[in-house]
Amino acid sequence: MTRLPHAVVLAAVVLLGMVVLTAAPAPAAPRTDMPRNDGGAREDGGLELLRQAAVAGRTQEYSGVRSVTMATGAGTVSATLEVRNTAGAGLSVRTRAAGGGGTWSTGIDPGSLAGGLAAPHEGMLDVLARNYDIVTAGGGTVCGRSARIVLALRDDGTTAARFWLDDATRLVLRREIMDAHGRVSRDDAFTDVAIPHPHLPAATARSGVLATPAGPAAEVPDAATLDTLRRHGWRFAETLPGRFELFTAGEMEGDRTTGPYVYLGYSDGLSVVSVFIQPGHLDEEHLTGWHAHVRAGHTIWTRDSSGQAQGQEAIWASGGQVYTVLADAPAEVVDAAIAAFPHEREPGLWARMALGAARLLAWVNPFGE
């Protein structure tokens, strides 16, 4: 079996800092000079700016506080994160609780969702360029710092995402993801930031996928890898609705609690859907903190919003396999992704699989419960 590096798994996991949710308000909208999305003239070069931002997120020293707000099927949830970045060593992140304190998690890949996608890998930027028109859109300010605004536009000209990139460093200061109705589904922004030694990134000549600080870089799985996974009995699609492409996949040995499983990472360049598949059946009686929803006659369990964003995590059993989905995408995208996987009625239960799923979620969560 292929063992994926820990950093690769982190690169595809839902926004991990949101496991401790607070009532923190969304940051005030920065001042912007936005163009009309009506096909009028816009400045080019947006994709190159995002490539510079990817380098800056790995090489620029900084510290600060980020406010993260996500819209879910159950409402809006927010978290406040303290972050600090050391070039070559990865991010350190701590969830700011009401009583203060908390434990720092270190060595987080800045290109992962736990790192706020501050340094997306070239593979994800390539997916982004295939799915969206990337353009610049004037300037704005975040935390008193001047920034360039970059838009990701859908085929119909509507905005799918906005990025605010620091003028002095190209660091991503704020990132908004919009749903199909034009509503902000996720807002990740600095409310305070310190950059002691600002510098623009070096030339961004393409030389392969950016490496992570904790291990080899993720590579798109080739046909032989996917054929091997399917011969081993794993059932999955190579694409999901919403132009989500499979950008990483691998078979994991697991342990006595989880057993063997396969990990699949899908992205449209803006959001990530992570899928874990285990053999066995689901013991629904042990799914504490999850809620059952019936979809097309089949039961899907989602995480209680008091612990994590409801609708962004789901688990179900089908055909002798247990599927666990973690996603930071808009709610309608998550629903479509879940529907794309097998859904068959399950006879019987197997307690070990519910415990194994909980162990998987704990393993990929560097912040703990």
Q: Are 13 and 313 in contact (CB under 8 A)?
A: no
Positive/negative CA dihedral, 165, 166, 170, 172: negative
Separation CA 69–CA 26 (nearest Å): 6
In the prediction, which pLDDT does 128 show?
93
- Interval 293-302 mean pLDDT: 75
Q: What is the pTM of this model?
A: 0.73
pLDDT tens for 13-48 read 332 222 222 233 333 443 333 333 333 334 468 999
Q: Residue 72's beta-bridge partner residues?
A: 75
Q: Which stretch of 171-175, 204-208, 289-293, 343-347 has the lowest confidence by average pLDDT?
A: 204-208
In the prediction, which pLDDT does 19 show?
26
In the prediction, which pLDDT does 257 show?
67
In the prediction, which pLDDT does 17 show?
28
How would you list the strands of the sheet with 239-240, edge to edge? Answer: 239-240, 244-252, 261-267, 272-279, 321-327, 313-318, 298-303, 290-295
Q: Is the pLDDT of residue 273 over 50?
A: yes
Left, alpha or beta for 54 (phi > 0: left; psi -120 to 50: alpha)? alpha
In the prediction, which pLDDT does 59 show?
93
In the prediction, which pLDDT does 304 show?
46
Separation CA 42–CA 44 (nearest Å): 6
Please state the length of the chain: 369
Listed in sequence order, the residues at least 6 apart from 125 whose beta carbon sits closer than 8 Å to its beta carbon are 47, 50, 51, 54, 269
**Beta strand pairing status for 261-267 and 290-295?**
unpaired
In the prediction, which pLDDT does 235 show?
84
Listed in sequence order, the residues at least 6 apart from 131 whose beta carbon sits closer than 8 Å to its beta carbon are 243, 268, 269
DSSP 260: S
What domains appear along the chain, each with residue ranges and CATH number?
Answer: 6-194 (2.50.20), 223-363 (3.30.200.100)
Q: Is the pLDDT of residue 105 over 80?
A: yes
Positive/negative CA dihedral, 223, 227, 228, 230: positive
Q: Is the pLDDT of residue 2 over 60?
A: no
Q: 41 — phi, psi (to 5°)? A: -65, 135
Q: Are 266 and 341 in contact (CB under 8 A)?
A: no
pLDDT tens for 157-170 read 999 999 999 999 99
In the prediction, which pLDDT does 99 show?
61
Amino acid letter for position 4: L
The number of CA neighbours under 13 Å toward the Cβ of 145 is 24
- pLDDT > 90: percent of the chain: 31
Separation CA 245–CA 251 (nearest Å): 18
Long-range contact set of residues 234-239: C-beta below 8 Å, sequence gap at least 24: 234/262, 234/277, 234/321, 235/277, 235/319, 235/321, 235/341, 235/342, 236/262, 236/264, 236/275, 236/277, 236/341, 237/340, 237/341, 239/266
Q: Is the pLDDT of residue 324 over 50?
A: yes
Separation CA 259–CA 72 (nearest Å): 31
